[in-house]
């Protein structure tokens, strides 16, 4: 198959499952050739079949992104076998659902190395190749938790905060150098991915994403759009992400108290957790886990926020039809939230 203009060369970490797997499908749908980076070989092979079924090429690259040498080797293989990398998507993650007081130092280190340093190592390998060519885009898959931490996921939240700081420094340096290499970040809402059944957990009940929950295809569309419109520093994939991020800026103390009261229950659903079930913190779980988790019946396929962010003209029209009134209502709501927070602080 001859390389054509449509055959972008893309690397996606965390490509075997969840949002990364959905992103593989989205890029494949547009004709991309994809380097598939993750630990789970079964999922990578299944993703490769999906790319090939869409008419593209894919390279299975079993890689632990916590190992910089493995990441560099994966990048080198992509350039050798597929071609110069156009887009690098950092998405690989792991987590532990646990109170901080029950976490171990090794668990904090592992989550940080995968979820934060994995992005750093991927970026370094991408820059090594993109900067000399003066072209390319690096997309960081973020989260509303990069701004607003929640209980029971301290290591994951801290890693997402670190990615946000790293991303800002990287973007600033690229702008300073007037580079044609670009970077952007996509802040995700709660997603229906398999992670809630495979990450290590000390919760008494089964873990769940904090509603509202969105399907991973929403994330995939956001990632694909951001990769091709990287001039914007960050994108919000759903209104719930906007609400969490902006609400935390206005009334962080109120958010602390609200989450202290509600954040534990919101992350669990019916059914006791099995404390001895296998998890993927240290080793990948066998099998192809796909993109979706167990919450299909509660997940949204469409995000109005993403629709507006990816269609600026539609956003302008909607504003003309009455979003100004909604914005006014939002401002009033924010003021009330801030007043409530200040009142609670005084009462405390």
Catalytic residue annotation:
156
Nearest to 43 by CA among 65, 68, 61, 67: 61
Residue ranges of alpha helices (H) inside the chain are 18-29, 41-53, 68-81, 105-112, 118-133, 154-176, 195-198, 216-228, 239-250, 252-266, 304-309, 312-318, 324-347
Q: How far apart are the first and last CA of the chain?
A: 68
Query: Are 221 and 26 contacting, i.e. CB atoms less than 8 angstroms apart?
Result: yes
Nearest to 83 by CA among 124, 134, 34: 34
d(CA 244, CA 329): 17
d(CA 12, CA 91): 7
> Which residues lie closer than 8 Å to 309 by C-beta, 6 or more apart?
222, 225, 235, 236, 315
Counts of helices then strands in the chain (DSSP H, E)? 13, 14
Query: Are 44 and 38 contacting, i.e. CB atoms less than 8 angstroms apart?
Result: yes
Give 139's strand partners.
89, 184
Query: Are 87 and 116 contacting, i.e. CB atoms less than 8 angstroms apart?
Result: no
């Amino acid at each position: 198959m001859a390389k054509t203009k449509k055959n972008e060369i893309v690397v996606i970490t965390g490509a075997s499952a969840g949002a990364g797997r959905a992103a593989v499908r989205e890029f494949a749908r547009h004709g991309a050739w994809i380097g598939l980076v993750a630990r789970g070989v079964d999922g990578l092979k299944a993703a490769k079949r999906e790319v090939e079924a869409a008419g593209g090429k894919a390279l299975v690259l079993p890689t632990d992104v916590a190992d910089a040498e493995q990441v560099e080797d994966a990048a080198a293989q992509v350039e050798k076998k597929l071609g110069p990398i156009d887009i690098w998507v950092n998405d690989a993650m792991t987590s532990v659902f646990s109170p901080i007081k029950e976490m171990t130092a090794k668990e904090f280190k592992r989550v940080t190395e995968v979820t934060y340093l994995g992005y750093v190592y991927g970026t370094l390998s991408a820059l090594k190749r993109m900067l000399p060519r003066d072209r390319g885009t690096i997309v960081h898959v973020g989260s509303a938790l990069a701004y607003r931490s929640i209980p029971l996921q301290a290591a994951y939240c801290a890693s997402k905060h670190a990615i946000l700081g790293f991303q800002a420094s990287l973007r600033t340096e690229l702008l300073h150098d007037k580079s044609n290499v670009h970077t952007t970040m996509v802040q995700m809402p709660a997603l229906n991915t398999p992670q809630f059944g495979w990450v290590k957990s000390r919760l008494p009940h089964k873990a769940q994403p904090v509603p509202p929950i969105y399907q991973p295809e929403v994330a995939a569309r956001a990632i694909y759009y951001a990769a091709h419109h990287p001039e914007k520093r960050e994108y919000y994939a759903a209104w719930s992400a906007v609400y969490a991020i902006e609400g935390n800026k206005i009334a962080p103390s109120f958010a602390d108290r609200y989450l202290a009261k509600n954040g534990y229950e919101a992350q669990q659903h019916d059914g006791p957790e099995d404390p001895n079930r296998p998890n993927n913190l240290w080793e990948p779980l066998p099998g192809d886990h796909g993109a979706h988790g167990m919450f299909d019946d509660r997940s949204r396929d469409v995000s109005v926020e993403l629709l507006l962010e990816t269609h600026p003209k539609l956003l302008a029209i909607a504003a003309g039809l009455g979003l100004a009134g909604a914005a006014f209502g939002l401002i009033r709501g924010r003021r009330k939230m801030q007043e409530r927070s200040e009142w609670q602080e005084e009462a405390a």
